[in-house]
Chains A and B, each alone.
Chain A
Amino acid sequence: MSEAAAAPLVEPRPPRKLYRSGDGRWLGGVARGLAGHLGLPVIWVRLVFVGLFMADGLGALLYAAFWFFVPLGVGGVDAQKPPPLVGTETSPDGRRRLVTRRPDKGQIVALLLMVVVAMGFVGSVDTSNGAKAYLWPTVLVGAGVALVWRQADNARRARWVEVGSRRRTVTLLRGGAGVLLVTAGVSGIFVLRGSGTHLASVLQAALAVLVGITLLAGPYLVRMTQDLSEERLMRIRAQERAEVAAHVHDSVLHTLTLIQRNAESPGEVRRLARAQERDLRTWLYKPEGTGKDEEEEPTTLADAVRRNAAEVEDKHGVPIEVVVVGDCPLDEKTGPQMQAAREAMVNAAKYGGEGGAVQVYAEVEGRTVFVSVRDRGPGFDLDSIPADRMGVRESIIGRMERNGGTARLRAVPDGGTEVELEMERAENTT
């Protein structure tokens, strides 16, 4: 036995690439990214940067260089450890769910820290020949640039993390603030150079140049952004398609395999086909994000009726056709009605299933909810309900009456049985 064989299996780790961390960052995510890359705690890296900053601003230069050249990624420190002071939550598969992110406290902290350090920095700078005077504008420019870069990062990040529209204003504000800071800093430098008197004309000239550049480059920029957004739209569409395809293909192939295996039992084949059909319909015709997940409890009457019918159909292998007119939320009155309706469906499937599909009709009209379940089975004489159908009295009629509704069972003239359930909705629901 070699040692290697005895050693516990270690998964080969993928070669780590250096990314700036998109989550839980303070400024550019450089520290987190580096920490993740080197396998060190973030705080150490941050402290090193701050320390380097004291050394003639070397830290700031380094940081800026990293920020500029290292791509933003989702790497960094393992996501299980909540980042200090920062609450960003990204669900790993943010599927159709807006990712709620608490506002970045980290940024404020980082800015404060920067100010404090900058103060120290300012104090430590050699104050000869008025260099100190240029310091503040420079710091301003630096802060502005940092803000704008950070914003650019966010824009890039938004491509894989959905960001709510309310963040749009924050985005604009940040960008604006950054630009303002830079402008103030640059103007400050101009003023200090003693050309304060010419400031107006310089600004005018700058403005003219800007306008010229905008005129020249404007159309290209506009076209570029349009192309970009179009390309993004296409990508989103493709993703959507891929998602549906993945879901549908898998389950359809699965069902087809099962159908081939169960080719001898028509009942099972029918059941499988119906279940698959329902699944597919839910995907194709249901509005976005409603009841696509099997696990969600139904909250409206229409959903509840369909869910119950589907379950009974699967269990008893009898097709159940459902028609719902109107809809309302479930309450303490209609809840029991749904249970009674389910019992009625089970009965219809069990005793009337050989007559063909069971037909379920539910209607909400004003305050009244009406449900009928009818089968085309042999029917039965209500006065001589056989022992095995005693359940009907309790689970359907009894349940409805206890909750203030009515239940009627009747034999349909041309064969079959029909159960009619009527219930007034609870008062407190709108």
Chain B
Amino acid sequence: MSEPTEPTGTNGTAGPADGAGRHVRVVLVDDHRMFRTGVQAEIGQTDQTGVEVIGEAADVDQAVTVITATRPEVVLLDVHLPGGGGVEVLRRCAPLMGDTEQPVRFLALSVSDAADDVIGVIRGGARGYVTKTITGTDLIDSIFRVQEGDAVFSPRLAGFVLDAFASTDAPPVDEDLDRLTQREREVLRLIARGYAYKEIAKQLFISVKTVESHVSAVLRKLQLSNRHELTRWATARRLV
């Protein structure tokens, strides 16, 4: 089943998940059957949530096969997978991500607390990262956000990114990619403090759209920055 869906455009403000007129095709990749079942039960009521789970996979090879065959819009990807982890899936699905017609987008899910795991999948091409403790409503929101091409940052990821881009003595290789702007830093701080995009917009007197573009810019820097030790800085940030 692969009817091309209408691109939803970027109306940006993802409201509460009411499923009204929204539809997204999703593949679940997680090696824990119990977790897949749980997520399926929580978000898979297509008529209410607009989320349609069209495939599941439990390891890297399966995931690549299923994703290639079903061409979902969003893949919920577990960071820890047998066969090389989420990063390996991202590596092997790179052509699908770059597809201009109908790109497959990835949202990383994990229980991990390790910065290198998290930053690793983002650098591998995932559009965001959420912890598995996320509520169903928030998860649905995140899925639609990713479908629209935006980035999804959990507070924890925001914290890691702030650590990674913290002012170090190392001179930036590329001014545009290796530094966060003041505004981006402010946005990340508010995300780390548990603010929703709407609240951030109010707080900084900017539009939600602008918040989203800041977050996307940060994501791009995270993926393209040549500071290879990003994760090392994030994990081993010395006492300042």
Contact = CB atoms under 8 A, between A and B. Distances in A.
Interface in A216-273: none
Given A300-B239, A321-B155, A326 B199 contact: no
Contacts of A357: 194
Interface in B223-240: 237, 239-240
With a 10 A CB-CB cut-off, give which of B112, B193, B196 has the most chain A CB atoms. B193
Given A325-B159, A325-B166, A326-B166, A285 B199 contact: no
Contacts of A361: 155, 159, 189, 192-194
Nearest to A358: B194
Interface in B197-240: 198-199, 202-203, 237, 239-240
B156 interface: yes
A412 interface: yes
A126 interface: no
A365 B182 CA distance: 14
B101 interface: no
A324 interface: yes
A414 B199 contact: yes
A326 B198 contact: no
Contacts of B155: 321, 323, 359, 361
B94 interface: no
Interface string B154-185: 01101100110010000000000000000000
B159 A359 contact: no
B48 to A, nearest CB: 21
B156 A323 contact: yes
B202 A413 contact: yes
A343 to B, nearest CB: 18
Interface string A403-420: 000000000111000100
Interface in A374-392: 374
Contact of A285 (B112, B158, B194): B112
Contacts of A285: 112-114
A325 B202 contact: no
Nearest to B236: A287
Nearest to A364: B240
Interface magnitude class on chain B: 20 to 34
A328 interface: yes
Nearest to A325: B162
Interface SS of chain A: strand
Contacts of A363: 162, 189, 192
Contacts of A159: none
Contacts of B198: 414
Contact of B159 (A284, A324, A412): A324
A321 B194 contact: yes
A372 B113 CA distance: 21
Contacts of A418: 193
A328 B193 contact: no
A359 to B, nearest CB: 3
Contacts of B239: 300, 327-329
B159 A323 contact: yes
Contacts of B166: 325-326
A76 to B, nearest CB: 45
B240 A372 contact: no
Given A281-B113, A412-B199, A413-B202, A327 B240 contact: yes
Given A323-B155, A323-B159, A325-B166, 7 more contacts: A321-B156, A326-B240, A359-B194, A361-B194, A363-B192, A366-B240, A413-B202
28 contacts: A284-B113, A285-B112, A321-B155, A323-B155, A323-B159, A323-B192, A325-B192, A326-B163, A326-B166, A326-B240, A327-B239, A328-B239, A357-B194, A359-B155, A359-B194, A361-B155, A361-B189, A361-B193, A361-B194, A363-B162, A363-B192, A366-B240, A374-B194, A412-B199, A413-B202, A414-B198, A414-B199, A414-B202
Interface of B: 112-114, 155-156, 158-159, 162-163, 166, 189, 192-194, 196, 198-199, 202-203, 237, 239-240
Interface of A: 281, 284-285, 300, 321, 323-329, 357, 359, 361, 363-366, 372, 374, 412-414, 418
